[in-house]
Chain A
Amino acid sequence: MIEYILKIKRKIRPVWRDRWVWIMAWRDARKNFSRLFLLVASLITGIAAVVSIGSLNYSLQDTLDQNAKELLGADLVINSNKKFEKEIISTLDTANLTRAGDAEMASMVMFMNTRQSRLVKLTALYGDFPFYGTLETQPFNAYKLMKGGRYAMLDESLARQYEISSEDSIKVGNSIFRVAGVVTKIPGGGALTSTIAPSVYIAMQDLDSTGLVQFGSRVSYRLFVKTNSNDETEKTINTIKPIVKKAGYSYETVERRKEGLGRSFRSVYQFFSMLAFIALILGCIGVASSVHIYAREKRDEVAVLRCIGSSGWQAFNIYFIQIFFLGLLGSVLGAGVGALIQKIIPIVFSNFIPAEFAFAISWGAIAEGVVLGVFVSVLFAILPLVAIRFVPPLTVLRSESTPTKTFSKMRWTAIVLIVLFPFVAAAYQTQSLITGLIFAVGIGAALGLLALVAMGLLKLIRKFFPKKASFVFRHALSNLYRPNNQTRILMVTIGLGGFIIATLNIVQNSLLGQVEFTGNKNQSNTILFDIQPSQKEGVIKLIKDHHLPLNQVVPIVTCRIQELKGKSVQTLMLDTTRKIPEWALTREYRVTYRDSLHRSEEMLKGEVQYYKPNQKDSIGVTISEGMQESLNVTVGDSLVFDIQGVPLKAFISGIRKVEWPKDPPNFIFVFPNGVIDNAPQIWVATTKVGEASESNRFQQELVMGFPNVSLVDLRLILSTVENLFGKISVVIRFLALFSIVTGLVVLAGAVVNSKFVRIRENVLLRTIGARSRQIMQITLIEYAYLGLFSALTGIILSLAGGWALCRFFFEVRLGVAWLDLSLVGITVMLLTVFIGWFNSREVISTPPLQVLRKE
């Protein structure tokens, strides 16, 4: 006998040169498209969210860059809350710079055609503003007419609301103006601000005749300056800086406005990015769960391939190629859907975005989306696919064979990358490492908790299994923990979907609750401010004549802080280690005086403000809790106030908790009676006005008798705010839809994938005599359990998440609408049951023999 002696020289072909794996990938995929379609669907929704929101950001950035000067209307704007002093005007004139200016204040106007009145933002203009962009009006010569005097222009929305046309008249203060036309576009403006306070424009030379500018009136002045270059702007800033600092002015340049706008949009963008991130993470879960189940189903076929000579890498590559190309397909489709949505967003946003913003499809965002989609599909597929490499060929003989090796560098690399991915993705999406970390930890915690709850629940079900329940209930319940069940993955995905929807709902309710007008019987809904002392009695009489309640009549004195705890504000400002913010030290405070607490106040520490003329610490003032933290003061600390030029030393006697929205106005500092009573002051009165007609009559008489007194109708503000929230929530829900749709796709995917396991089980049940109805009941009850447990977990987690967001992010009190949350829970459960039922119809209708033969 002789023996063979062979030498094994196995050639290793790289994947791109191994023709067979490409052929096999295609052949195998032909019959598996339907299963992998769910992977594609997960990617489509996730990437669509990323691309549409990415495109939005690119568009905003582009617009900001292209229209920066138009956003400001000038190269430099100087702001002041008092009339500009001659020094600054002469400095600008000496530099031979072109300037224009305006004065802005809140005022009541009366529309003479209907005798209705409304609080508006009155803007008095002079000079050739704007220097950049155009102030567009209808008719086109309205601005020219207005400049000539005795004419006013109105915001388009205001004119439309009160049906004002050219040649109608409005009464502003003591003067009547003819309407020159409407302003359709003005640089620096946005539809959002004019929704809250629409503007009326008059010429500056007409302002004095209105009699609106009196002592205590809050007027903002602006100087618009045109320079010839950025260098000249810088030079001008350097020249005026000492004057600006001395006079307490502030200034804004094109660059600063750009940054400011960028910051505002960044907050909005970050919120939307969070939604995109969640959609992406859900997409990743969809990819991972689809591939996990796919790889498990392929185990037997891989064993055959290994048996007839395929290497582990070849087997891996077959499925990797499939996932890669399907990932690419899903990403391209997702990017396409995202681009399409980008076209829809401007329609949804139209009321909030200035006309200057142009929405364009961003190829950068599309490319990013495609690359991200392929990366995500590969990353989240690798972990389940690596298992294919280690399928033992012995499985062809013994299906229970276990791999002898499971460790590989690739597996560990994938695990590390997957752990890092949420953080990197969130940081990239939100362009902030900290936000990225918070999002990633938040989502990680939510996912972890959901998984823990799912595991705990399964243990509890096994431990406290209702053995005496009916067959259908027992079988449905035990399906939750049987081998090959999808309970954990389903609970995590459904629960996460419920968590997101419920959290959004809680945040929205909390924000609305902050401004909600409770409708309390004595709650004020109308505030009259800027009442001069000489007008006080007249206004009170007017309120009483209209049989309206006089809820508050409070004096307001303006002052600044001069010294804090023995240190002058100037000294504190020079201290680089101070923790007190600059604005708290330099701002103007509007204070009042009284000897008792208002109903919106509660003493937290110390005692109510006092005045003890003969004692050393004779004047005790109280401070609101938030400002007490900002100024870092406590009971007993001393302050020196500058009451319009007169220094006044006082001590903190107590700290008040203030419910700011409740019965305004409320105050940071409250003085005792007898100290500042004689300081220059204005008065504010609050009342409650009933129906609109009553309100209109009262407003008309107020405007006629006291033209400088402004009236704020809280009902109008409330409805505007509610309207704004309504519109914003449409946008939020629209974008949250991505997350929800992705969650549903993942849910459908998990259910469809588990269907193949269920078919066999249910067929066996039917073979041994179970009726179709019983199987249907088992299926429905099982998915009802899943939906119920998932929704409950998601909602409970959302209470924690909502609380954290309200407390730390939005800084508002938690407001929960239990009815809404119950509806969310019921909807999630019904959707789960519906998808479960929809996908199980085939299981129920398939004849047993057909399946048994396949076996």
Chain B
Amino acid sequence: MAEILLSVEHLTKAYPSGGRELVVLDHVSFTVEQGSRLALIGPSGSGKTTLLGLCAGLDVPTSGTVSLMGVKLNAMDEDDRAYLRNQYTGFVFQNFQLLSTLTAIENVMVPLEIRGERNVEPKAKELLARVGLGDRLDHYPSQLSGGEQQRVAIARAFITAPKILFADEPTGNLDEENAKQVIDLLFGINGEEKTTLVLVTHNIELANKTDRILQMKGGKIVDERILVTA
């Protein structure tokens, strides 16, 4: 029996806009089991990224609850949510979000260092070698191409062996060749580590690589497809 890692119930998010409330998520509910891969798809403005942010505890909902590993995120303060993210989650973003003042290896080491762990360099080196950047350890992000930066971001995301990985359009800024490399890496390591994956994408091809697709429109889940993957 699979364990429920992420549980979303009646999640609503509204922003004030021009004196009115703009509802971007409207009573969304779903669960994600451990080890599963979920894709959130939909047109721009459908609420996918907002939903991802709320699931990862990057933002707080207007109403409804998000439970990550049984812990209700709404009840926690920002620093406790940061702690939870550090311990159990990983992130990959469309625009890579590497720290420009740190080298590739330093970027990868950061999540473990935040925990207070020492001697993390071998692990970071190993991961960078695994993403094909064993010879670019001391390069700064500005000295790397987009594809290389995203591979560093993947290594950073996996260094904590997260229970769940949130990815927001991970190939959105990459050319076809680099996108393919990144997808292979992301799904490869994900498979090996049995990490749960929540992916936001426009790319149907990429979405089809997951187990389950939630189609969003106007802040609601309008369709759900279960896929059988090899």
Contacts and interface: CB of A to CB of B under 8 A. Distances in A.
Report the interface size class on chain B.
35 or more
Contacts of B113: 19-20, 23-24
Nearest to B99: A301
Contact of B91 (A2, A24, A308): A308
Contact of B3 (A1, A13, A401): A1
B3 A394 contact: no
Interface string A383-410: 0000000001110111001001100000
A854 B140 CA distance: 12
A305 B99 contact: yes
Contact of A394 (B1, B53, B106, B115): B53
Interface in B1-55: 1-5, 7, 31, 33-34, 49, 52-53
Chain B binding surface, main DSSP class:
mixed
Given A310-B114, A396-B58, A397-B53, A2 B4 contact: yes
Interface string A297-340: 00011011111111111100000000000000000000000000
B49 to A, nearest CB: 5
A392 B31 CA distance: 25
Interface stretch (A25-33, A411-419, A551-559, A687-695): A25-33
B184 to A, nearest CB: 23
A5 B3 CA distance: 11
A140 B222 CA distance: 111
Contacts of A396: 58, 91, 93, 97
Contacts of B116: 11, 13, 18-20
Interface residues of A, number: 44
B126 interface: no
B144 to A, nearest CB: 11
B79 A392 contact: no
A10 interface: yes
A397 B93 contact: yes
B71 A31 contact: no
A646 interface: no
Contact of B83 (A10, A28, A392): A10
Contacts of B115: 309
A6 interface: yes
Given A3-B3, A304-B99, A308-B111, A393 B93 contact: no
A27 B85 CA distance: 23
Contacts of B60: 404
B101 A301 contact: yes
Nearest to A393: B58
B149 to A, nearest CB: 12
A309 B87 contact: yes
Nearest to B169: A397
A308 B86 contact: yes
B102 A27 contact: yes
Nearest to B78: A312
Interface string B129-154: 00000000000101000000000000
Contact of A309 (B67, B69, B85): B85
B75 to A, nearest CB: 10
B24 to A, nearest CB: 11
Interface in B176-202: none
A8 interface: yes
B220 interface: no
A8 B83 contact: yes
Contacts of B85: 307-309, 393
B156 interface: yes
A464 interface: no
A267 B153 CA distance: 64
Contacts of A30: 101
Contacts of B91: 307-308, 396
B110 interface: yes
B70 A8 contact: no
B59 interface: yes
A301 to B, nearest CB: 5
Contacts of A300: 97
Contacts of A32: 101
B52 to A, nearest CB: 7
Nearest to A310: B114
A4 B69 contact: yes
Q: Which of A13, A31, A307, A854 has the most CB of B within 10 A?
A: A307
B79 A311 contact: yes
B13 to A, nearest CB: 11
A24 B112 CA distance: 13
Nearest to B81: A393
Contact of A4 (B4, B83, B86): B4
Among the interface residues A20, A28, A308, which one has the most CB atoms of the partner chain B within 10 A? Answer: A308
Contact of A307 (B4, B31, B69, B97): B97
Interface in A1-59: 1-6, 8, 10-11, 13, 18-20, 23-24, 27-28, 30-32
A393 B82 contact: yes
Contacts of B67: 3
Given A28-B101, A304-B99, A404-B60, A8 B5 contact: no
A397 B49 contact: yes
A401 B115 CA distance: 26
Contacts of A301: 99-101
Given A8-B84, A306-B82, A854 B3 contact: no
Contacts of B3: 1-4
Contacts of B100: 31, 301
Nearest to B87: A309
A31 B101 contact: yes
B2 A1 contact: yes
B2 to A, nearest CB: 6
Contacts of B227: none
Nearest to B142: A854
B76 interface: yes
Closest 10 CB pairs of A and B: A309-B86, A4-B69, A5-B70, A4-B70, A311-B79, A31-B101, A10-B83, A20-B113, A394-B58, A393-B58
Interface of B: 1-5, 7, 31, 33-34, 49, 52-53, 56, 58-60, 67, 69-71, 76, 78-80, 82-88, 91, 93, 97-102, 106, 110-111, 113-116, 118, 140, 142, 156, 168
25 contacts: A2-B1, A3-B70, A4-B69, A4-B71, A5-B71, A10-B80, A11-B116, A13-B116, A18-B116, A19-B113, A28-B99, A31-B140, A305-B110, A306-B78, A306-B82, A308-B91, A309-B85, A311-B79, A311-B83, A312-B79, A314-B114, A394-B58, A396-B93, A397-B93, A404-B60
